Amino acid sequence: MIISNPKGTQDFLPPYSEQKHYLETQFRKVVALYGFSEIVTPCFEHTELFLRSTGLTTDIVTKQIYSFTDKGGRDLTLRPEGTPGVVRAFLQNNLKPPLRLFYIGPMFRYEKPQKGRYREFYQLGIEVIGEAHPQTDVEVIEMGLNFFSAVNVKDLVVKVNSVGCALCRNRFRSDLIFYLNTVRDKICEDCKARLERNPLRVFDCKETTCQELYQSAPKIADYLCYDCQNHFQIVLQELTERNLPFELDKMMVRGLDYYTRTTFEYVPSLSTALGAQDSLGGGGRYDNLIEDFGGPKIPAIGFALGLERILIYLGNPTLPRKNLVYLIPLDGESEKQAKQLLRQLRTSEIPAILNLPDKNLRSGLGIADNLSCEYVIIIGSEEMKKQVYTVKQLSTKSQQEVPQDKIIEFFNQTFTKQSTKEF
C-alpha cells in the first residue's frame, strides 16, 4: 500500500458507517422535537473568524488550527468547531432571532491523535440565537440528555459551571493572578504562558500537578455579579426540578474564549471506555459573541457532541441483518422470472439484488451473507412449476415456499415488523 489515510483521520466502514448514520438520524429526530432547523455552513472559513471567536489564547487557535493560503492569497482555516460559522452566517444573512439551528459535519483540529481524539472528527451541534432566559440553558442541556438516552448512552452526568460575564471576570482575574504567582514555580511552562495571556485558561491544563494546584485556586463561579449569580441560581434550580443528572464543577471553564455564564459538559459517570477523552459533548452561553462580531447585542447558547466518542462509548455494534433480498435464479428460464421479480420488488420499495449469471447457488449464498441480506429467494424449475418462490431466511436458516402472487405482501409484512430494530 503506497498511500494511507492522513494521521488522525479515519474511514467509516460498515457497520460503523451505518451506526454513524443512525446517530445522525436520532439526533435529527430529537432536535426536531425542540423546533430546530438545519444549517449547513462551509468546512472552511476566513482564518480571522476563528481568531476573533474561538479565541487567540485558546489551545485550538494557538496550536490546533489547519490554516492555509489559497491560490488567491486568502488566509483560510478548516473549521475547528461549528459555532463561529453559524454566527457568521446568522449575521451575514440578516437572520431574524430567536432562532434554533442544528448542524452535523466534520471539524478539524491538529491534535495529538489518541482514542477519542482525532484531527478530523464529526460534531452534532446546535445553536440557539436570541434566547436569554436561563430556562433555555436547561432546555438545551435536557435536549442533549434526551438524545443520549435515545441512543442508549445511559450513565451520563452533566457537569455545569458559570464563567460569568466581563464584570465578574475583572474582579476574579486579579485574585487568580495573585494565587498563580504564589505557585508560579510549580506550574508547567504552558500555564506560565497562560498566566501572562489569559489566566482563566490555566484550568484547561491537563497536567496532574497543575490540576491539583488549581483545586485551591479561586474559582470564577465564586465571583459572579448579581445578574450572573441570579441566572445561574435559576439554572441550578430548574435542573434540580427537572430531576436532571447534573453536578456543579467549578473547575470546568471549557477550552473556548467566547463563553459567558452557563457552561456544561456531558461526561459518562461509570463507563471508562473513553479514557482521558471522556467528554461526549459540551457547550455553553456566548452572550457577547454576536456583538463582538459587529452585530447587535443578541444572547446565544449551544453545544456540540463528539460523534466518534459516542461510537466508542457504545462499543462494537451488533448490527441486525439488512432488509435486503438476494435473488438466485438457477437456470435461464428462472432468470427471466427473477429479473421481473427484481423490478417488482424495487417498485414496491423492497431492496433487492440479483445474483449475476456467472455465480452459482453456493457463491450466491456466500455473497448474500457477506452483504448482510436477511432473505434469499431461490427460483428453479421446481418453483416455476409450482408458481412459488423458495424464501430462505439467513439469520434463522429456515426456509419456506411463498406463492408468487403473495411475495410482495410477504415482504411488506415481515419488513414492517422488523423496522423497529435498533442498534
Residues near ligand HAM (CB under 6 A) = 81-83, 109, 111, 116-118, 121, 123, 125, 127, 255-256, 279-284, 302-304, 306, 308-309
Q: In a 3-state reduction of DSSP, which class is residue 393?
A: strand
CB of 414 to ligand HAM, least distance (A): 38
Nearest CB to ligand HAM, comparing residues 262 and 355: 262
Nearest CB to ligand HAM, comparing residues 26 and 323: 26
Nearest CB to ligand HAM, comparing residues 146 and 372: 146
Q: How would DSSP label each residue in 93-149?
A: TTPPSSEEEEEEEEEE-----BTTB-SEEEEEEEEEES--SHHHHHHHHHHHHHHHH
CB of 302 closer than 8 Å to CB of 330? no
CA–CA distance, 222 with 218 (Å, rounded to integer): 8
CA–CA distance, 233 with 239 (Å, rounded to integer): 10
Pairing status of strand 373-379 against strand 322-329: parallel
Nearest CB to ligand HAM, comparing residues 127 and 190: 127
List the beta bridge partners of residue 393: 375, 398
How many Cα neighbours within 13 Å face the side chain of 167? Answer: 7
CB of 158 to ligand HAM, least distance (A): 12
By beta carbon distance, the residue nearest ligand HAM is: 306
Nearest CB to ligand HAM, comparing residues 160 and 304: 304
Nearest CB to ligand HAM, comparing residues 315 and 332: 315
Contacts of 125 (CB under 8 A, 6+ apart): 82, 83, 86, 102, 103, 104, 302, 303, 304, 305
CB of 80 to ligand HAM, least distance (A): 7
CB of 229 to ligand HAM, least distance (A): 22
74: cell is: 486568502
Nearest CB to ligand HAM, comparing residues 81 and 249: 81
CB of 3 to ligand HAM, least distance (A): 23
List the beta bridge partners of residue 400: 391
Residue with cell 410482495: 408
